[in-house]
Structures are given as structure tokens and as C-alpha cells.
């Protein structure tokens, strides 16, 4: 189902919402977490039509209110999560996905952010928790502009890194805050590098 939808959407999405992807080779084989800033609901779609392998996305439960659309989201890899509580079911599904060697995409800001300099919001603890518990690498990704009709955006995928210094530690708030700060730093460096590169090309 996923690859059928992927093939169906690739041409129209690429034509209407052009995007240049840089660094796709940085996505490792096997399980990993792609940690990206969040600009619109098209972020996941762009990644899906520009990379072949199926990825699983953490999506807010509100998107599943329509049963038909909710079924579609599940078929293409969306994992429903309740952001207002500790969603044990979603946590188990995310861990299962990683343990099976699959790729999980998380927008750690928890909501969409768009401003002139594409500054990042607060990086929440989810990415750090899953990366440490599943012992998988994190791949930072930065979307330089919100996808808009006919406007080209640039998406840069950075090099993977691990949080192995936290493996085996108790995942209390202090540990997760420290690990999340590292993730935020990697994402911020990628943001600055991307925007500086785009500015030089103008």
C-alpha cells in the first residue's frame, strides 16, 4: 500500500511542491530516528516521495479524527500519539518499529514552526528517549522553507550520530534534558549551515 501511494503521489507532489534534497546518503541502513524541524503537514509527504524506503511517522491523534483519513495515515506509516498525556501505546509502537530495524521520523518541536529565520522551537524529550532505549542513531534534518505551491524548498539531511554516552543510564528528566540538548545543538548547527549556504548562493 505504501509504495503504491508513494508512486501515485511522486510526480504531482514534486511538480507542485518542488524540493531539493541534500544528504540523502546520510540516512543509514537499518533503524534510525530522523529528527526534523516541522513546517507543515507536507513535511512527511516530501520525505516520502524523495526517498524510497518506507518510514514511520509520529502524528498527533487529531489527524485521525476522520476514520477514512486515519486509515490512510496508518497505511502509509503514521503512528498516532496523544500529545496531552503519556501515550503508552504510541511509545510501544515506536519502540517496536525501531526494534524491527525500521526508520522513525519525529518532529521534536511537537508542533509546526515557521518564522523568517526558521528558528527551532524547544526540542522535546521524545527523540532522546527512543534513541537511547532502542540504541539507534539520530539523523538531523532541516527544512529550509515551508513547502508552498510552486515554490522550491531545500531539505538538508545531516550525518547520523548516537547518544551512546547515555546507554544504560536511568532515563530521568536530567538525563533526557542533557541528551535533548545535544540533539537541539546538532539540529541548530544544521540549520545555520543550511541557511548560510543558501545565503551565499543568492
Q: How confident is the model at residue 59 (pLDDT cuts 50, 70, 90)?
A: confident
User: Is the Cβ–Cβ distance between 141 and 158 less than 8 Å?
Assistant: yes
User: Is the Cβ–Cβ distance between 140 and 158 less than 8 Å?
Assistant: yes
Number of other CB atoms surrounding residue 81 within 10 Å: 21
User: Is the Cβ–Cβ distance between 104 and 128 less than 8 Å?
Assistant: no
Residues 6+ apart with CB under 8 A from 62: none
Q: Give the pLDDT score at 75.
A: 77
pLDDT in tens, 122-169: 999 999 999 999 999 999 999 998 999 999 999 999 999 999 999 999
Q: Give the pLDDT score at 13.
A: 93
CA distance 141 to 36: 5
* Secondary structure of 92-137 in HEC code, one letter for each residue: HHHHHHHHCCCEEEECCCCCCCCCCCCCCCCCCCHHHHHHHHHCCC
Number of other CB atoms surrounding residue 13 within 10 Å: 19
CA distance 200 to 62: 40
Domain covering 2-201 in this structure, CATH number: 3.40.1130.10
CA distance 27 to 80: 24
pLDDT > 70: what percent of the chain?
Answer: 98
pLDDT of 8 higher than 70: yes
CA angle (45, 47, 50) in 5-degree steps: 105
pLDDT of 38 higher than 70: yes
pLDDT of 92 higher than 70: yes
As a whole number, mean pLDDT of residues 175-197 equals: 96
**Main-chain phi, psi angles of 98, to 5 degrees:** -70, -40
Q: How confident is the model at residue 202 (pLDDT cuts 50, 70, 90)?
A: low
Task: Please state, rounded to an integer, the average pLDDT across all residues of the chain.
Answer: 92
pLDDT of 186 higher than 90: yes
Amino acid at each position: 500500500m505504501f509504495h503504491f501511494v508513494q508512486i501515485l503521489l511522486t510526480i504531482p507532489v514534486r511538480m507542485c511542491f518542488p524540493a531539493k534534497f541534500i544528504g540523502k546518503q546520510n540516512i543509514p541502513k537499518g533503524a534510525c530516528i530522523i529528527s526534523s524541524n516541522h513546517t507543515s503537514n507536507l513535511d512527511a509527504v516530501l520525505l516520502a516521495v524523495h526517498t524510497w524506503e518506507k518510514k514511520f511517522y509520529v502524528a498527533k491523534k487529531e489527524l485521525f479524527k476522520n476514520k477514512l483519513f486515519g486509515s490512510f495515515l496508518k497505511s502509509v506509516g503514521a503512528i498516532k500519539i496523544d500529545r496531552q498525556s503519556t501515550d503508552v501505546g504510541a511509545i510501544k509502537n515506536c519502540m517496536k518499529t525501531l526494534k524491527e530495524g525500521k526508520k522513525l521520523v519525529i518532529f521534536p518541536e511537537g508542533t509546526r514552526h515557521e518564522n523568517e529565520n526558521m528558528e527551532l522551537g524547544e526540542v522535546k524529550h521524545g527523540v532522546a528517549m527512543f534513541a537511547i532505549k532502542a540504541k539507534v542513531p539520530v539523523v538531523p534534518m532541516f527544512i529550509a522553507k515551508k513547502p508552498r505551491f510552486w515554490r522550491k524548498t531545500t531539505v538538508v539531511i545531516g550525518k547520523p550520530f548516537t547518544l551512546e554516552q547515555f546507554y544504560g543510564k536511568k532515563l530521568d528528566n536530567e538525563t533526557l534534558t542533557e541528551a535533548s540538548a545535544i540533539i537541539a545543538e546538532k539540529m541548530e548547527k544544521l540549520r545555520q549551515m543550511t541557511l548560510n549556504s543558501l545565503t551565499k548562493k543568492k
